[in-house]
Structure 1
Amino acid sequence: MKHIQLALSFLTVIPMRVTGTLQPRDRGRPGAWFPAGGLLIGLLLAGARFGLDWLFTNAQAPEQPVVMLVSVLVVALWAGLTGGLHLDGLADCCDGLLAAVSSERRLEIMKDPRLGTFGGAGLVLYLLSKVTALAALPAGIFLPLLLAPVLARWLILIAAWQPMARPGGLGAEFAAGVTWRTFGYAALVPLVVIVAGGPRAVVAAVLAHLAALAIFQLARSRLGGVTGDVLGLIVEITEVVVLLVYAAR
């Protein structure tokens, strides 16, 4: 039970009282529940979109919701459910990875709590892309809101197998605890959602994994490995890739 509680407390702002004592060998075990936590986020988002579609309707076309308003509110809820944690990682990565400096300096920039020019611009462009992609989804289509957070949390575990830029960091401790058993349990939820989603879900999953691999390569070349901020970047990019696949005609 404590592993479920830890996973939800890390992935969401849902108050969780963690019971039991966490041993060093347990660091990565909550990862088995990450995709399930992503599914919970997706269910909340799908429910919110359904309710907002009903609440905000176009007076000229009552059967159509005011899609842009609904999309903005859903994306705001999306960020709120995670406490903006992954958006912070995205902004930090934009500041650090795009700077023309050494790897050591990039890591210092990414630890700086201040938002830089690249980070601010990247955050704005990303949120605009996410809102627009969500608004472009066909009416009544909710599966991408389930698939996006599930795949994003699954790819956190894939990232755990990458070299770490800060070997002594929390990310490295988590990665050290991710076992094959953790990986196997975690794979069940993404597989079920992908199978339920059909061919387009498979395309979204493939593109999301390719995007993650590109980010891994960029992080290795510019930082020397993966950091917690890079995990946030992977989560956010995965989510928008899934939305774009479903928004495409």
Structure 2
Amino acid sequence: MRGLRAAIGFLTILPAAPQVPTAGLSNAVAWFPVVGLVLGVAVAVLDGLLMWLGLRDGVLLLLEGVLLVALLAWLTRGLHLDGFMDTCDALAGGRDRERRLEILRDPHVGAFGVVAVVLLLLAKVSALAALPGESRLWTIVLVPCLSRWAILVVMDRFPYVRQEGLGAPFLRGGSRRSLVVGSVVALLATVILTGPVGLLMGLAAGL
């Protein structure tokens, strides 16, 4: 279970693994979709509570979306938002590979990153407000799981840009095995939450 604790400690604010040996971090990758499920359930619980309080009418839907996005950002320490801003800064401001890597190492956030993350957060809030009731629960639970599973796909299919970095310890050994295990978790979650129709839609999207 050390891999699960490492995944929770890396992807969330929860102090599940304050001291994990670097050599053992590669075992954590397969657990990323499981951590995504935990995050999705937490957001779904808040969504149910807000629905019980009556925040489902008119402009209150937007307020509910803001609260759900804020909870997810807090639970994940804004890790993915920070990476998204760095990526946008590097892609928009870097003229060549060396300059882009330099921007990625810079701890400061540029104008491109700020504008991009504001638009991203607005899109998330709007999407949550527009979710229909019949598919709202499984969407909220499943999307964090599938997005963490997508990390495994990217790690398996694309080379890491640097020898050292935040993601380097997770790449050392077992990436294909982790992808298989994580894919099984994501597949089971999709079938359980959405049934065969959701699975077929996911396969069609993958094609």
Q: TM-score, normalised by structure 1?
A: 0.74
Give the aligned partner of residue 51 of structure 2.
53
Counterpart residue identity of residue 21, structure 2 = L
Give the aligned partner of residue 152 of structure 1.
147
**Structure 1 portions without partners, runs of 5+:** 211-249
After TM superposition, list the pairs within 5 Å mapping 1:67-86 onto structure 2.
67-86=61-80
After TM superposition, list the pairs within 5 Å mapping 1:49-198 onto structure 2.
49-57=47-55, 66-139=60-133, 141-161=136-156, 162-196=158-192, 197-198=194-195
**8 Å CA contact retained: 1:90, 1:123:** yes
The verdict on how the C-alpha distance between 1:35 and 1:206 changes in structure 2, with shifts beyond 3 A counting, is farther
CA distance in 2, matches of 1:144, 1:113: 33
Give the aligned partner of residue 3 of structure 2.
3
The RMSD of aligned alpha carbons is: 2.3
Give the aligned partner of residue 22 of structure 1.
21
**Structure 2 portions without partners, runs of 5+:** none
Deviation track 1:10-64 (CA, whole Å, cap 9, x = no partner) reads: 1110121457x6362x331111111100000000011110101112446xx7xx8
Structure 1 runs, 4 residues or longer, greater than 6 Å off: none
CA distance in 1, matches of 2:67, 2:83: 21
Q: Percent identity?
A: 39
The verdict on how the C-alpha distance between 1:98 and 1:158 changes in structure 2, with shifts beyond 3 A counting, is same
Deviation at 1:165, TM superposition (A): 0.8
> How many equivalent residue pairs?
203
Give the aligned partner of residue 33 of structure 1.
31
Deviation at 1:175, TM superposition (A): 1.3
Deviation at 1:65, TM superposition (A): 9.0
CA distance in 1, matches of 2:101, 2:38: 32
Deviation track 1:157-196 (CA, whole Å, cap 9, x = no partner) reads: 1122221110233423311223443222222221012223
